[in-house]
Amino acid sequence: MPANKFNGYTDYGVGIGLRIPHYDHILSQKPTVDWFEIISENFLVDGGRPLDVLDQILAQYRVVQHGVALYFGSAEAPNRDHLRRVKKLIARTKTPWLSDHLCWGSVDGTYSHDLLPMPYTHAAARRTAEKIRQIRDFLEVPIAVENVSSYTEFHVSEMTEWEFLSAVVELADCGILLDVNNIYVSSKNQTFNPYDYLDQIPHHRVAQMHIAGHTKFEKYLLDTHDHAPPDPVWKLYAHAIRQCGVTATLLEWDDKIPTFDEVHNEALKAHEFIDQAREAKIPAPRETVRARAR
């Protein structure tokens, strides 16, 4: 489903993350790029080079905001100053949708700056969905929540990760930013079948997809975004777009960042799978309800 209410009825194509080492190349060469994703928190400032660069980018390109600190899963109320700044940035970027992670990361106003995994409980799903609704009402923009890579499982969890994701997005009536690499990383760390995950989420809610690379350690995978996506991630991506429809896709590359062309060419490999999916003429996903409200 390329355009739906969760991505502002847009069809954005294949984009890459806007990263500092590429600023000069982008501003001087003006390469053709479908869209850029920015990390919202890097631009929640009052002036200076970050906003100067952003304004130049906005004059030429479509930009979508991706956050790392709204912490939908933290128990505390949203930070009003943070939200006010995000809303001001939305007015600047005109982002058709906004994404952040299905995780927690702050406790009583202290921030971890990390994407910490949630216990998959019904109570947590309800509380998280309520917070997403509050934030969406304030920001007045569609929200898509991203599944995170996880390295642990909690005793208190009552369901699988995909059941939890489904419950949250259905209770909040919001979109999903489906991070295919994160599903792969978690499937190896938690020992589940990543295709089960992809098959059992509400496909019509997928507003965007992420692809990325990771690092393989002896006993686990770490979501480092410092490589090109490996083959298993591309295969999962191919399956995901057959299930969910072709949607806005973004390659994340955040560390050991190579040249702009290398990152962009890697992202454009998505077209191979997008073309295959389009040729297959798979019907758009039907609206489904995956989770049972409790």
Partner 1 sequence: MWRVVSRPLTGTHRMQRTWSDGRPTSAITAQIAKANDRLTSFERLEIYNRMYWFRVLDSLYDDCPGLRGVLGDRKFMRLAEAYLVKYPSRSFTLRNLPSRLAKFIREEPQFTHPHTALCLDLAHFEWARVEVFDTAARPLFTVDDLLDADPAKLRLNLQPYLQLLQLDYPVDDYVLEVKKREAELLRGDASNAPSELRSSVTVRLARPRPARTFVAVHRMAGTIYFKRLDPAAYKILTAIRAGKTLEQALSVGVPRAKQPRADWAAKIQGWFANWMELGWFCRAE
Quick check: 166 and 290 in contact, CB under 8 A?
yes
CA atoms within 13 A on the CB side of 75: 5
Ramachandran class of 245: left when φ > 0, alpha when ψ lies in -120 to 50, beta otherwise: left
Q: Which stretch binds partner 1 (CB under 8 A): 42-50, 127-135, 161-169, 230-238?
A: 42-50
Q: Which stretch binds partner 1 (CB under 8 A): 46-54, 129-137, 234-242, 262-270?
A: 46-54
Query: Total residues at the site for partner 1 (CB under 8 A)?
Result: 55
DSSP state of 113: E
Q: Taking CB under 8 A as the criterion, which residues in 179-198 touch partner 1?
A: 189-191
Q: Which stretch binds partner 1 (CB under 8 A): 47-55, 124-132, 237-245, 284-292?
A: 47-55
CA distance 57 to 37: 11
Amino acid at 112: S
Under rule CB under 8 A, residue 53 binds partner 1? yes
CA distance 175 to 196: 19
- Closer residue to partner 1 (CB): 45 or 293: 45
Position of tokens 């350690």? 217
> Binder to partner 1 among 155, 193, 281, 283 (CB under 8 A)?
155
Under rule CB under 8 A, residue 76 binds partner 1? no
- Closer residue to partner 1 (CB): 18 or 246: 18
Quick one: which of 96, 106, 169, 179 has its CA closest to 139? 96
Amino acid at 38: I
Under rule CB under 8 A, residue 154 binds partner 1? yes
> Binder to partner 1 among 22, 62, 66, 203 (CB under 8 A)?
66
CA distance 202 to 163: 10
CA distance 64 to 270: 18
Under rule CB under 8 A, residue 48 binds partner 1? yes
Q: Compute the least distance from the CB of residue 111 to partner 1, in Å.
A: 4
* Residues in contact with partner 1 by the rule CB under 8 A: 17, 19-21, 39, 41-42, 44-53, 66, 68-69, 79, 82, 101, 106-107, 109-116, 149, 151-155, 189-191, 212, 215, 217, 219-220, 222-226, 252, 254-255
